[in-house]
């Protein structure tokens, strides 16, 4: 009796060439995080439920993978922020603040099964944590990192949308809508999705009067900071305006292309814990993908573990979902990817020569496959083609005798011979 070798729905498992593209994207993200002087962290996937669920509630508790092993009540991490909070508060005395860390790893949520939603997925997080205080300068480091990543990834035009929660909080406070802020922010957050009409309807349904709605629309339709300065006079609002101005000024000084960032007063971020700068990132030609990189500033990372005040700012990329979307939208085409730069096709028994060529190619910093298939020439070449190789290095007895190799370009169906000495001058990219 054979067991059916099946993979659970909601768990991404890719074909080799797809995985290659996935890893390429993941590595660009990690490398960029490292370029800015961030330390990698790798916290356990399994933690005590009491630790992971110290703050959580509602949806999170329902979705979590939780089980007993021995006497322990355990859970799989559902994000990388709670483990960071645990890490920083338990090692507070040994860490150097501001503590800059990135973490790229899988998290687990038993969501309802639907297309494009995953139960196991990668988050690519970066955060700076301050001890008691954290300079606003870090709030401009985040968009700078996002900018570098999406420039390198080259998925087309992108825009980093930046706002400050203090502006929104101060503004609605001054309109006497303090109690309704979270409802209003939730509605504003959906503006792009549901449209202006529907937004007004929703704002009315939570009892905003016409003047309040009018001012609200004025705010969220503004495209730059100067336009909103007169809309409100409130300490929190003014602080938010100053912070946002400082971030935008810094991005200019950092030389980011102005097409790739903007203030957007509709950005609120659903999560409760953002208290200052907030970010979302969208692909201009693919608005339907939603925000592909989001985050913001928070006053307090770990209040459920420690009395220390640990403010931070961070961003996160949900890579598994993003990768799925990029494939669906055909923005990436993994099927043509190959893991090796060249493949050697030995048609001789002189393996001394074959390995000499192999070592030479490796010395050129190339990724080199060798086809050891015990088959004929056609089948070996078919193997190279099916793996998407561009260049096959063919070594027959003729080549050995002449101290040469034959280089076959499998995409352009051309072939040339070069001497072993000249091989190191060849380009294979």
Question: 103-122: which residues touch its own copies (CB under 8 A)?
Answer: 106, 108, 110, 119-120
Helix 16-35 vs helix 319-328: angle between axes, to the nearest 10 degrees? 130
Residue 237 or 391: which CB sits closer to its own copies?
A: 391
Judged by CB under 8 A, the residue of 71, 211, 230, 352 near its own copies is 352
CA 110 from chain center: how many Å? 21
* Shortest Å distance, C-beta 363 to its own copies: 11
Q: Could you tell me which stretch among 172-180, 218-226, 231-239, 335-343 binds its own copies (CB under 8 A)?
A: 335-343
Q: Checking DSSP bridges between strand 312-318 and strand 120-129, what pairing results, if any? A: antiparallel
H helix intervals, 104-224: 137-153, 165-174, 181-189, 191-205, 210-221
Q: Write out the binding residues for its own copies, residues 201-230 only, by CB under 8 A.
A: none
For 294, the enclosing helix (H) or strand (E) is strand 294-298
| Residues 291 and 315: beta-carbon distance below 8 Å | no
Question: Both ends of the chain: CA-CA distance in Å?
Answer: 48
CB nearer its own copies, residue 201 or residue 362: 362
Site string for its own copies, 280-319 (x = CB under 8 A): ----------------------x-xxxx------------
- Least separation, in Å, of the C-beta of 19 and its own copies? 5
Contact with its own copies (CB under 8 A): which of 59, 62, 73, 135?
Answer: 135
Task: Write the DSSP assignment of 214-282 as a string of letters.
Answer: HHHHHHHH--SHHHHGGG---HHHHHHHHHHHHHHHHHHHTT--GGGEEE-TT---S-TTEEEEEEEEE
Q: Which of 374, 413, 414, 429 binds its own copies (CB under 8 A)?
A: 374
Which residues, numbered 61-90, are part of the site for its own copies (CB under 8 A)? 65-70, 72, 74, 76, 85-87, 89-90
Q: Residue 77: how many CB atoms within 10 A of its CB?
A: 24
List phi, psi (to 5°) of 247. Answer: -65, -45
Which of 253, 252, 248 is CA-nearest to residue 264? 248
Residues 223-282 that bind its own copies (CB under 8 A): 250, 253-255
Contact between 358 and its own copies per CB under 8 A: yes
One residue of 278, 315, 343, 347 binding its own copies per CB under 8 A: 343
Cα–Cα nearest to 39, from 94, 1, 79: 94
Q: Judged by CB, which is closer to its own copies: 54, or 217?
A: 54
Q: What angle do CA 227, 232, 237 make, to 5 degrees?
A: 95
93 binds its own copies (CB under 8 A): no
**Contacts with its own copies, 13-42, as mask; x by CB under 8 A:** xxxxx-xx-xx----------xxxxxxxxx
Nearer to its own copies, 94 or 272 (CB): 94
**Among residues 352 and 412, whose Cβ is nearest to its own copies?**
352
Of residues 207, 372, 379, 397, which one binds its own copies by CB under 8 A?
372
Which structure tokens are listed for 404?
A: 């040469």
- Residue pair 240/228 in contact by the 8 Å Cβ criterion: no
* Tokens 């996160």 -> residue: 316
What is the smallest separation between the CB atom of 396 and its own copies, expressed in angstroms? 17
377 binds its own copies, rule: CB under 8 A: no
User: Least distance to its own copies from the beta carbon of 192, Å?
Assistant: 31
Minimum CB separation of residue 372 from its own copies in Å reads 4
Rounded to a whole number of angstroms, the minimum distance from the CB of residue 379 to its own copies is: 11
The pair of structure tokens assigned to 270 is: 């659903």
Residue 363 interacts with its own copies (CB under 8 A): yes or no: no
Q: Are 297 and 278 in contact (CB under 8 A)?
A: yes
What's the token pair of residue 148?
């570098």
Residue 390 beta carbon to its own copies: minimum distance, rounded to whole angstroms:
13
For position 364 contacting its own copies by CB under 8 A, the verdict is no
To its own copies, the closest distance from the beta carbon of 111 in angstroms equals 11
């Amino acid at each position: 009796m054979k067991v059916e070798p099946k993979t659970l729905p909601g768990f991404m498992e890719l074909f080799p060439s797809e995985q290659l593209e996935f890893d390429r994207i993941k590595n660009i993200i990690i490398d960029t995080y490292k370029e800015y002087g961030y330390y990698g962290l790798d916290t356990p996937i399994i933690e005590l439920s009491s630790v992971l669920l110290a703050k959580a509630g509602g949806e999170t508790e329902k979705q979590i993978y939780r089980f007993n092993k021995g006497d322990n009540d355990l859970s799989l991490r559902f994000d990388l922020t709670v483990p960071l909070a645990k890490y920083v508060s338990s090692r507070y005395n040994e860490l150097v603040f501001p503590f800059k860390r990135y973490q790229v790893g899988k998290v687990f949520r038993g969501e309802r099964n639907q297309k494009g939603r995953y139960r196991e997925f990668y988050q690519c997080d970066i955060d700076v944590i301050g001890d008691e205080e954290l300079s606003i300068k870090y709030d401009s480091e985040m968009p700078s990192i996002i900018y570098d990543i999406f420039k390198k990834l080259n998925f087309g035009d992108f825009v980093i949308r930046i706002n400050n929660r203090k502006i929104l909080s101060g503004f609605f406070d001054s309109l006497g809508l303090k109690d309704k802020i979270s409802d209003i922010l939730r509605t504003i957050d959906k503006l792009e999705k549901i449209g202006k009409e529907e937004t007004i309807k929703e704002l009315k349904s939570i009892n905003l009067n016409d003047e309040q709605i009018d001012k609200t629309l004025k705010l969220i339709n503004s495209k730059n900071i100067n336009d909103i300065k007169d809309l409100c006079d409130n300490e929190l609002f003014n602080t938010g305006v100053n912070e946002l101005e400082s971030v935008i000024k810094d991005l200019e000084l950092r030389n980011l292309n102005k097409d790739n960032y903007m203030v957007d007063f509709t950005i609120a971020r659903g999560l409760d814990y953002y208290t200052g700068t907030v970010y979302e990132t969208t692909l201009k030609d693919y608005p339907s993908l939603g925000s592909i990189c989001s985050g913001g500033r928070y006053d307090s990372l770990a209040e459920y573990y420690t009395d220390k005040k640990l403010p931070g700012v961070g961003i996160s990329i949900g890579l598994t979902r993003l990768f799925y979307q990029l494939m669906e939208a055909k923005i990436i085409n993994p099927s043509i990817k190959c893991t090796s730069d060249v493949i050697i096709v030995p048609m001789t028994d002189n393996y001394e020569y074959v390995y000499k060529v192999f070592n030479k190619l490796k010395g050129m910093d190339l990724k080199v496959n060798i086809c050891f298939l015990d088959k004929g020439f056609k089948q070996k070449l078919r193997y190279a083609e099916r793996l998407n190789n561009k260049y096959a290095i063919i070594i027959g007895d003729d080549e050995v005798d002449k101290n040469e190799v034959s280089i076959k370009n499998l995409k352009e169906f051309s072939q040339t011979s070069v001497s072993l000495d000249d091989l190191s001058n060849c380009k294979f990219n």
